[in-house]
């Protein structure tokens, strides 16, 4: 195909789709501009409830029946053969008998939501969250299940949900990245940077990883030997040279993204140090997040930083854990205790803090892993992977507070009531942000690709999750 003809066709398609994508996304694809906070998007398909998302991702597959999904039958049958029929077992040679839940459950909040004793702080926000106990996914393997949760597909190299949101909504602050990843000081999560890749979307929409520690962005500080005037002149010259170069390659989105990212980086020199400086936070706020406790301090800092970034117009913030710590193939009870001790208080504090500041109504907080665990033991004290049921909770942004949705069978193995697929959840989340998941599309390999791909997945909005 003639490249010029393709460019005309591409522009025509995007112009037709502008009502669904927003003028910010359209502007980025039609030329090498930048996402501008002063350039509002076109009206959404419906009234948005939320404008930002904070994803607290729990790599490895948290055990739903030990944390969120109270199942008395587990302890009744503990140590006995599983009576519920066939199970899909990942490591079948290590499959054992029913494994009881080692911790007590109790009703929390006015809503009476049953939660594990390992989650006392989450219990305090029970009336603010939607607990979905009937989630299902399409894979029992970590990498592919992670991709389904983040991109809607089990294949590698596709755009993450954060990239889709940025593509559809644009940014609210031109001085900060619109999509920020707060990484774990222990290292990358499973599947690494693919978790926040923009895939086939223009590179402009990929996540920007902030490093742990006092310098989250490398080389952010202007060299000491440069004066303010000299630095300004230098950046002006670079901008003119970049624009001249970009004008000769109008369809090169990688080039446009590099230029836009460099310009954002220059503006970040002033905005990032202030955004990541926690010294201005009150002693009460720091204590709320557990910064005074070495067990909770690290995760608490990142949760607090997520609030500060959203407060300053960042659209999508993700917190990841190193490796896959919730993958409790052994020492299930012991490892759950340690993980909850580190993450429960900061996660709940984030919801409490957003609510106190009037930000929870416009911010979605999502706590989830990629799948759940089995009701039988792996070895003596572990649990294997389970794709047929897992739990997640979500707060704010139009989700129904103090609500438990769906149910699993007596042993927590399979979702049996009001089942919610990952694609359904994606569609519902997009809806709270004012986006029709059917309209959020991008031309790729001869078809209109999307996050939910409803023609294939049957993705639908779940109205019972919304207030």
Give the residues across from 395 on adjacent strands.
Answer: 129, 365
Length in residues, the chain: 467
Task: Read off the pLDDT of residues 120-132 as tens digits, 9 standing for 90 and up.
Answer: 999 999 999 999 9
Tokens of 89: 């077992």
Q: How much is the average pLDDT of 93-121?
A: 96
Residue 353's pLDDT is what? 98
Whole-angstrom CA distances from 105 to 68, 70, 119, 217 are 9, 7, 10, 42
Q: What is the DSSP annotation of 315-355?
A: SEEEE--SB-TT--SS-HHHHHHHHHHHHHHHHHHHHHHHH
- The DSSP 8-state label assigned to residue 107 in this structure reads E
Q: Is the pLDDT of residue 265 over 90?
A: no
Q: What is the pTM of this model?
A: 0.86
272 pLDDT band (50/70/90 cuts)? Answer: confident
Q: Is the pLDDT of residue 106 over 80?
A: yes
State which of 3-17, 31-45, 125-139, 260-274 shows the largest mean pLDDT. Answer: 125-139
Average pLDDT value for the chain: 87
Give the residues across from 95 on adjacent strands.
Answer: 378
Could you tell me where the beta strands, DSSP code E, fall in 359-452? Answer: 363-368, 372-373, 376-378, 385-386, 390-395, 403-405, 407-408, 415-417, 420-421, 441-444, 447-450
Task: Read off the pLDDT of residues 31-44 as tens digits, 9 standing for 90 and up.
Answer: 333 343 333 333 45
Q: Is the pLDDT of residue 257 over 80?
A: no
Q: How much is the average pLDDT of 8-23?
A: 35
Task: Read off the pLDDT of residues 209-235 as tens digits, 9 standing for 90 and up.
Answer: 998 766 777 666 667 777 768 877 877
Q: How much is the average pLDDT of 311-335?
A: 96
Task: Read off the pLDDT of residues 193-209 as tens digits, 9 standing for 90 and up.
Answer: 999 999 999 888 999 99
Give 36 or 289, the one with higher predicted confidence. Answer: 289
Q: 150-159, 250-259, 320-329, 433-442: lowest mean pLDDT where?
A: 250-259
Residue 421's pLDDT is what? 98
Residue 204's pLDDT is what? 84
Residue 5's pLDDT is what? 38
């Amino acid at each position: 195909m003639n490249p010029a003809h393709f460019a005309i066709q591409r522009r025509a398609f995007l112009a037709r789709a502008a009502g669904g994508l927003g003028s910010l996304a359209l502007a980025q694809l039609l030329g090498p501009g930048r996402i501008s906070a002063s350039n509002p998007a076109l009206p959404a398909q419906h009234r948005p409830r939320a404008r930002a998302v904070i994803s607290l991702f729990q790599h490895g597959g948290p055990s739903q029946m030990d944390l969120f999904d109270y199942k008395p039958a587990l302890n009744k049958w503990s140590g006995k053969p599983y009576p519920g029929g066939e199970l899909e077992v990942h490591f079948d040679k290590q499959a054992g008998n029913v494994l009881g839940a080692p911790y007590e459950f109790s009703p929390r909040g006015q809503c009476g939501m049953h939660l594990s004793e390992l989650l006392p702080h989450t219990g305090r926000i029970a009336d603010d969250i939607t607990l979905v106990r009937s989630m299902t996914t399409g894979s029992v393997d970590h990498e592919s299940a992670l991709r389904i949760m983040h991109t809607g597909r089990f294949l590698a190299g596709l755009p993450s949900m954060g990239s889709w949101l940025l593509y559809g909504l644009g940014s609210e602050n031109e001085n900060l990245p619109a999509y920020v990843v707060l990484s774990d000081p222990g290292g990358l999560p499973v599947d690494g940077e693919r978790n926040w890749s923009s895939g086939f979307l223009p590179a402009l929409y990929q996540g920007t990883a902030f490093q742990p520690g006092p310098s989250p962005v490398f080389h952010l500080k202007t060299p000491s030997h440069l004066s303010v005037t000299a630095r300004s002149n230098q950046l002006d010259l670079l901008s003119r040279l970049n624009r001249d170069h970009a004008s000769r390659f109008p369809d090169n989105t990688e080039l446009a993204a590099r230029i836009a990212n460099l310009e954002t980086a220059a503006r970040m020199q002033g905005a990032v140090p202030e955004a990541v400086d926690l010294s201005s936070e009150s002693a009460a706020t720091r204590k709320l997040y557990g910064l005074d406790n070495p067990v909770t301090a690290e995760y608490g800092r990142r949760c607090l930083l997520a609030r500060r970034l959203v407060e300053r117009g960042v659209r999508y913030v993700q917190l990841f854990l190193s490796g896959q710590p919730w993958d409790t193939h052994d020492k299930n009870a012991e490892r759950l205790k340690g993980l909850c001790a580190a993450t429960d208080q900061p996660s709940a504090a984030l919801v409490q803090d957003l609510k106190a500041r009037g930000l929870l109504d416009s911010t979605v907080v999502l706590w989830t892993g990629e799948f759940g665990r089995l009701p039988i033991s792996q070895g003596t004290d572990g649990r294997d992977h389970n794709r047929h049921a897992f739990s997640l909770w979500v707060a704010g942004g139009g989700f129904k507070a103090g609500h438990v949705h769906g149910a699993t069978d007596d042993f927590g193995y399979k979702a049996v009531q009001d089942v919610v697929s990952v694609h359904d959840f994606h569609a519902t989340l997009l809806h709270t942000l004012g986006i029709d998941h059917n309209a959020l599309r991008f031309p790729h390999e001869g078809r209109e690709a999307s996050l939910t791909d409803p023609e294939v997945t049957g993705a639908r909005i779940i109205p019972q999750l919304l207030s």
